[in-house]
Structure 1
Amino acid sequence: METSWLSRLAALCHRRRLTVLAGWLVVAVAGVLLAAQYGGPTSDDFDTGSTQSGVAQRLVEAHFPEFTNDGVTLAVRSDAPVDAPAVRDRVTRVVEALGSAEHVAEVSSPYDGPGQISADRHTAYAVAALTVPSGEMPAAETGKLLDAVRAAGGDGVTFALSGDAVDAVETPGGGPADAVGLAVAAVVLLVAFGSVFAMAVPIVTAIFGIAVGLSAMELMRHLLPTPGFATVLASMIGLGVGIDYALFIVTRYREALAAGRTPAEAVAAAAATAGRAVLFAGGTVVVGLCGLLLTDLGFLRGLAVGSAATVAVTMLAAVTLLPALLGLLGHRIDRLSVHRRAASANPWSARWAGVVGRRPVSATLLAALALLVLAAPVLGLRLGSPDASTQPRDTSAYQAHRILAQGFGAGFDATLSVVVRLPEGDPERVAGRITGQPGVAAVSPARHSRDGAVAVLAVRPTTGTQDPATIDLVHRLRAAVAGQPAYVGGAAAATIDFAELTRDRLPTVVLVVVGLSLLLLMVIFRSVLLALKAGLLNLLSIGASFGVLVAVVQWGWLGAALNFPTAMPVTAWVPLIMFPMLFGLSMDYEVFLVSRIREAYDVMGDTRRAVRAGLAGSARVISAAAAIMIAVFLSVMLGADLGVKQLGLGLAVAVFVDATIVRLVLLPASMELLGRFNWWLPRWLDRVLPAVRLEAAPPPRPAAELS
């Protein structure tokens, strides 16, 4: 087999295995310690830029410093009127306890502020201003507040807390996902390899890569704004691709050993074949994740760079640390076997490729129809953001939402802020234009800043944040105040603006990611049609995953079974992140499968036999890799963060569809139909494209051996 820089690198790591292992151990330990000591803060604020909500927020921050503190809201519901003496005493004691808590600056009592008691006198609320941002509020302190508020209820009076600090405790972004994903991956690898050592090597490699990658992400938070869920996402994608990449290399290593090569030769051979595929496949994932930078949304910059860095580190671990681990094991990689898998002369994948190959037109049409049916719901996609109304029903945040919605109306949580510049604007005129609008429940008197620069009107809708009518209201209000230096903002308006920003910028991400990936595939496969077909099939599988996500999350199909509390819009950032991730991950299987088919075609010169040989040689390992990916992605369903759960579900569906309908039906059927045109590349393009072989050419084998 020809040598390459990658095989030489693997051989070096194999020889210097103890030095390589020690180096990785030092880097991983140092990274974890540095991240724990100097990790930067998270930032979950939507970047609404120059939108009206963004301008309104900046004006409020500049001229109403008293409004900039984060806070928690105490909701009160009483069978008796809240201003009855006995109820008032109980509420006052809870408010005082809240005010004396650590990190609480002050509390506005419902009996002191206007409008904090409902018209029927049975509902009230108090707002506690925090001395620290919600993201920095210690979870233990928030937990104490929640316990105290719950304990104060009873005898006809209910108390509940809501706010970002409460959500961080009740619906954290983490959970047991990584442990569950690792456990399932271990089982899949044990079944696939039949050896404890062979199972352990990919997992150890992935863990080292994730540890270093996540540490880098923690430190980069000082430079790039990074949302709190970024660590969960990077861990999920790093674990999935890390194990998969090591799985492909270990498979090639074991094949080389079985062919009679020495461990050193087998490591070099695995690196020259699967190692190259790992670099190209991982490169597409990195390109996809970096495509998020094109959105110019600060909210996603740290996530994109950190996740891409984690994938890049797992790739590096696969081509350096893994050869060192294999050097330690040598032939012992098959020790501690739990079963012996008998090799089949005609595996099911080869038989299936033959079935599809005999009816390629029917197979293509049926598979494409299935994908289109799955993708159809995406036409009704609505974007939004989870809030208290979508939280699990047993949380304090949801109970507070229900109390306040019943007492003050469904639009209480969706209150809008209309900020008017002074003296150019006229708050009274703005209030007059707003008051008569359909969907407006109440408009507060204008509150002027101390410096006289701006005034703020609080507008309470009749509908909640998740209601499409609220979106229409925001646009109507903006049209109504046009001509005045007035800006409609607030949390609900920011959510709407962010959803529209992500929707508008997704096409740019799609075009750039698809274009770069197609160019890379043409370089790899030396074929125009294979690259175009791969892009089309990936788009179909991604569309199917989007459709399933809409049906489950937005329409509520199987939502309860999947632990979604209620039907809700798809979280705005989920499709934006899903697309580049899925396009990159789909390319993994395309690269590994088509490279095997191309390898067989170079030997036999017959497309049909090459498809059967390539599918027979890679279907089992691709199925195992897909099973691991699906398990890792679905494991986040055990967590509480609704956006992360939606992302995990969408990714798992896409990988399942890609590994079954696309790779087992559409790919072999379409290659049957294209025949020798699969490998067509115009001469002028062949001269322009750089000459890069995905996998080093293996020694020629008799055609009968591959048939």
Structure 2
Amino acid sequence: MTAETPRTGGALAGLARFCYRRRRLVLLAWIAGVIAVAFAGFGYGAASDNDFSGGDSGSARAQELIDKHFPEQRGDTLTLAIKADRGIDDPAARQKIERVIAELAASPVTGPVISPYQDEDLVTQDRRIARTTIPLTDKEVKKSEVEPLVTTVRDASGDGVTLGLGGDRAEKAETPGQGPAESVGVLAAAVILFVAFGSLVAMGLPIVTALLAILGGIALMKLVGHVVPAPDFTVVLAAMIGLGVGIDYALFIVTRYKDALRDGDEPESATVRAITTAGHAVLFAGTTVVIALLGLVVMGQRLMTGVAVAASVTVLVTMIAAVTLLPAFLGFTGHRIDALRLPRRASRHQGAGGAPSRERRTPAERWAGVVQRRPLVAALVAVAVLLVLAAPALSMRLSLPDASVQPRDRSSYISYEILSEGFGPGYGAPLIFATRVGSRDADLRPVVEAVGRTEGIAHVTPPRISEDGRAATFMAFPTTGYQEEATADLVHRLRDDVLPRAPGGEGVHVGGPNAGTIDFAEEVGSRLPLMIAVVIALSLVLLIALVRSVTIALQAAVLNLLSIGAAYGVIVAVVQWGWLGPALGFPTEMPITAWVPMMMFPVLFGLSMDYEVFLISRVREEYGRTGDTRTAVTRGLARTAKVITAAAAIMIAVFTTSLLGPDVSVKQGGLGMAVAVLIDASIIRMVLVPAVMELCGKANWWMPGRREPKATSAPPAGVEAEAGV
């Protein structure tokens, strides 16, 4: 068997033949299946769950007490912020303010509203700024039911009166959909594919395959949400990941199919060859991404487990589409894969079958030669660049976004700005204290006074005893804002020093959204190393099984860590430090959203392993022919550089388009993943891989208990099934 002879047996070969010969049945089955799943998923799928609380943190225990003993506080609330240039008592201003309050109170989703004209505590001393709380009658109020309230408040602003409606539900209600981001990503991918293939037909196959798979994957993901709930950003994230890997996987298979046709194969045998080679690598690469995503389970966060399962479902469907739906499409196109092609001259640098000519070396071969002549210098320079890029990650702070980091024209940000001016920046970051008590006569004054005397606390409310006399709660407002590091330090000081020393303070728990965010961020930070270790270990086992080399697997793990670390550093510099932040759509400097780095790592590690598989499998194939590492790396890089570059460009385009969307957290993730893919496809694949493999020489192929293979005219058995491109 030669390297160019497809395997005629095996499960993948049989699957490819079946899908090719029964292409109409396969296509109809896919269309009917996707329509059925879409109808069920989008019509009856589970609602999003954005409650990141839970576990055994102090905020979780506080919330448990509140839910159990203060049922009236379970519903969400909105906050109306009011600023009147001439004071709220000005007749025109008062008429407008009272009208807005009446309209808000009349909504079917709101409860009784206390006017600031009835409670002096709701008004500043100069009577220019006021606030009031709008209780929502149902914890599951829909976005569409809150949107009219936001519109009412926004439309009433003017003539010296500024109004803003804040609260989590208000933020979500006024946040627009993802908009054209995915469409722009698809368009960019189409342009890249057209340039790479030069044919509208070849361009269309990966896109149609990926889109159909993503539609089915997201619908199935919504059904899975009934068992494993996931937050609302999961759909955007899954679509972004699914679009990128779906197009890339189909790209590799179509490339191999075109190569087989150029070698003289008939369409059916070309399809079999493409699936048993590139399709085999796609299954391995996709499995790596799925396993990496499922590494999120070790974080112990209920909703992040939901994200892991949901995204894995989407990737799994794209894998299945690549090896079943795409062969059916290839059966319809046959030799017309290059139809409607872009006129261009044939490359003088290609030999028969599109292989690089040995008379004139390709740019990728020449570049590999440059790196291999000075491998130590190249490796040291590349590593130095990556470490410089990664350095900002050492100062990474984690949090969750609030109104203070929203676009400046949002009603929720206007509310935050007014309340900060009138009542202090900590008004939007209240701490809610909860504790068990023995009776309604319990005396909490020593605890309340101790909290009130703490540096960093602006105001403390009187304690409230529950109706059953079993629990009590009170609130404290910090002098610092939600996103400030000083607020997190204050929470720790209260828990570690103030409450343990105050009489009766031992059983008091600090909770509320602010403390919950702090607890979540710290739990992520503490568990992230464990997740990284699990993902690396599982991926190493898979990669060793594929390339049959411990050395190469370890190289891949280390190099992938470098590229991901550099991506972490870039998003810290842009998002947290503010370098080019406004130009990239980040309204202000802000901490990194807590779930972004732990979501980025498995996704990027899995995707990096994809490129590793597609490159190293070719290098391994060439090494089986020649027995010379330098030649194998040079030829492997030459044969994969173009397609890996195209695949990376598609990924970068898809991830970068997230910057067009409204969600600052999704933007952070998209930016970080685009940077990581760019680094991986350039510095890692084009510099570090050839340099490190040159330095390792024969040691690249070390495997315990295996004898050194001899060079042959054909690769070792099974290598052609491992080749990725």
TM over 0.5: yes
CA distance, structure 2, for counterparts of residue 33 and residue 697 of structure 1 = 38
CA distance, structure 1, for counterparts of residue 488 and residue 57 of structure 2 = 15
339, 342, 353: which one aligns with 1:338? 342
CA distance, structure 2, for counterparts of residue 653 and residue 659 of structure 1 = 10
Which residue does 2:602 correspond to in 1?
580
Q: How does 1:102-141 map to 2 (within 5 A)?
A: 102-113=108-119, 115-133=121-139, 136-139=141-144, 141=145
CA 1:262–1:692: 2 relative to 1, 3 Å: closer
Identity of aligned residues (%): 52
CA distance, structure 1, for counterparts of residue 121 and residue 492 of structure 2 = 26
The amino acid that maps onto 1:117 is V
CA distance, structure 2, for counterparts of residue 697 and residue 150 of structure 1 = 59
CA distance, structure 2, for counterparts of residue 34 and residue 325 of structure 1 = 26
8 Å CA contact 2:150, 2:174 repeated in 1: no
8 Å CA contact 2:567, 2:676 repeated in 1: yes
CA 1:587–1:694: 2 relative to 1, 3 Å: farther
82, 88, 106: which one aligns with 1:76? 82
Could you report, residue by residue, the CA deviation over 1:94-114 in whole angstroms, capped at 9, with x for unpaired residues? 101111123223323223346
8 Å CA contact 2:228, 2:305 repeated in 1: yes
696, 703, 707: which one aligns with 2:721? 696
Indicate yes or no: 2:685 matched with 1:663.
yes
CA distance, structure 2, for counterparts of residue 544 and residue 66 of structure 1 = 48
1:696 aligns to what SS in structure 2?
helix
CA distance, structure 2, for counterparts of residue 469 and residue 339 of structure 1 = 62
Which residue does 1:481 correspond to in 2?
499
**Aligned-residue offset at 1:603:** 0.9
Indicate yes or no: 2:71 matched with 1:89.
no
1, 17, 22: which one aligns with 1:16? 22
CA distance, structure 1, for counterparts of residue 494 and residue 573 of structure 2 = 31
CA 1:645–1:427: 2 relative to 1, 3 Å: same
8 Å CA contact 1:417, 1:456 repeated in 2: yes
Which residue does 2:373 correspond to in 1?
358
8 Å CA contact 2:656, 2:671 repeated in 1: yes
CA distance, structure 2, for counterparts of residue 341 and residue 210 of structure 1 = 36
191, 196, 207: which one aligns with 1:203? 207
Which residue does 1:148 correspond to in 2?
152
8 Å CA contact 2:150, 2:173 repeated in 1: no
8 Å CA contact 1:426, 1:484 repeated in 2: no
8 Å CA contact 1:173, 1:644 repeated in 2: no
Which residue does 2:354 correspond to in 1?
none
**Aligned-residue offset at 1:426:** 4.4
More off after superposition, 333-342 vs 239-248: 333-342
Which residue does 1:383 correspond to in 2?
398
Could you report, residue by residue, the CA deviation over 1:632-660 in whole angstroms, capped at 9, with x for unpaired residues? 00111111111100000000000000000
Aligned residues: 692
Could you report, residue by residue, the CA deviation over 1:305-346 in whole angstroms, capped at 9, with x for unpaired residues? 010011011000000000000011000000100133523232
Could you report, residue by residue, the CA deviation over 1:606-665 in whole angstroms, capped at 9, with x for unpaired residues? 111111111110100000000000010011111111110000000000000000000000
189, 193, 197: which one aligns with 2:197? 193
**Aligned-residue offset at 1:524:** 0.7
Which residue does 2:425 correspond to in 1?
410
CA distance, structure 2, for counterparts of residue 564 and residue 694 of structure 1 = 47
Structure 1 gap segments, 5+ residues each: 699-707
More off after superposition, 102-111 vs 582-591: 102-111
Which residue does 2:434 correspond to in 1?
419
8 Å CA contact 1:523, 1:692 repeated in 2: no
The amino acid that maps onto 1:79 is D
CA distance, structure 2, for counterparts of residue 224 and residue 290 of structure 1 = 13
The amino acid that maps onto 2:250 is A
8 Å CA contact 1:173, 1:229 repeated in 2: no
More off after superposition, 476-485 vs 280-289: 476-485
Structure 2 gap segments, 5+ residues each: 350-356, 709-715
Could you report, residue by residue, the CA deviation over 1:252-281 in whole angstroms, capped at 9, with x for unpaired residues? 000000000000110010111101100111
8 Å CA contact 2:436, 2:472 repeated in 1: yes
Indicate yes or no: 2:352 matched with 1:327.
no
The amino acid that maps onto 1:103 is V
Could you report, residue by residue, the CA deviation over 1:532-574 in whole angstroms, capped at 9, with x for unpaired residues? 0000000000000000010000000000110100000000000
2:690 aligns to what SS in structure 1?
helix
8 Å CA contact 1:195, 1:339 repeated in 2: no
The amino acid that maps onto 2:446 is R
Which residue does 1:472 correspond to in 2?
489
The amino acid that maps onto 1:481 is L
Could you report, residue by residue, the CA deviation over 1:436-472 in whole angstroms, capped at 9, with x for unpaired residues? 1110101111111111111111101000011110001
2:561 aligns to what SS in structure 1?
helix
CA 1:440–1:693: 2 relative to 1, 3 Å: farther
CA distance, structure 2, for counterparts of residue 367 and residue 637 of structure 1 = 28
**Aligned-residue offset at 1:163:** 1.7
Indicate yes or no: 2:69 matched with 1:59.
no
2:721 aligns to what SS in structure 1?
coil
8 Å CA contact 1:74, 1:125 repeated in 2: yes
**Aligned-residue offset at 1:29:** 0.7
8 Å CA contact 2:65, 2:435 repeated in 1: no
1:106 aligns to what SS in structure 2?
coil
Runs of 4+ in 1 over 6 A off after TM superposition: none
1:161 aligns to what SS in structure 2?
strand
Question: TM-score scaled by structure 1?
Answer: 0.95
2:79 aligns to what SS in structure 1?
strand
1:411 aligns to what SS in structure 2?
helix
The amino acid that maps onto 1:448 is I
Indicate yes or no: 2:452 matched with 1:435.
yes
Measured on the aligned residues, the alpha-carbon RMSD in Å equals: 1.7
Which residue does 1:703 correspond to in 2?
none
Indicate yes or no: 2:537 matched with 1:515.
yes
8 Å CA contact 2:596, 2:665 repeated in 1: yes
**Aligned-residue offset at 1:166:** 2.0
**Aligned-residue offset at 1:697:** 7.6
8 Å CA contact 2:46, 2:229 repeated in 1: no
8 Å CA contact 1:276, 1:695 repeated in 2: no
8 Å CA contact 2:403, 2:413 repeated in 1: yes
8 Å CA contact 1:175, 1:636 repeated in 2: no
Indicate yes or no: 2:270 matched with 1:266.
yes
1:681 aligns to what SS in structure 2?
coil
The amino acid that maps onto 1:455 is A
CA distance, structure 2, for counterparts of residue 268 and residue 120 of structure 1 = 79
**Aligned-residue offset at 1:173:** 5.7
**Aligned-residue offset at 1:90:** 2.4
**Aligned-residue offset at 1:185:** 0.4
CA distance, structure 1, for counterparts of residue 687 and residue 216 of structure 2 = 38
**Aligned-residue offset at 1:86:** 4.3
8 Å CA contact 1:9, 1:320 repeated in 2: yes
More off after superposition, 219-228 vs 506-515: 219-228
More off after superposition, 333-342 vs 225-234: 333-342
Could you report, residue by residue, the CA deviation over 1:374-414 in whole angstroms, capped at 9, with x for unpaired residues? 00000101001111000001111111100000000011101
CA 1:536–1:314: 2 relative to 1, 3 Å: same
Could you report, residue by residue, the CA deviation over 1:454-513 in whole angstroms, capped at 9, with x for unpaired residues? 111110100001111000100111121125210011111001000001111111110100
**Aligned-residue offset at 1:172:** 4.1
More off after superposition, 552-561 vs 422-431: 422-431
188, 206, 218: which one aligns with 1:214? 218
Which residue does 1:369 correspond to in 2?
384
1:465 aligns to what SS in structure 2?
coil
1:124 aligns to what SS in structure 2?
strand
**Aligned-residue offset at 1:47:** 2.8
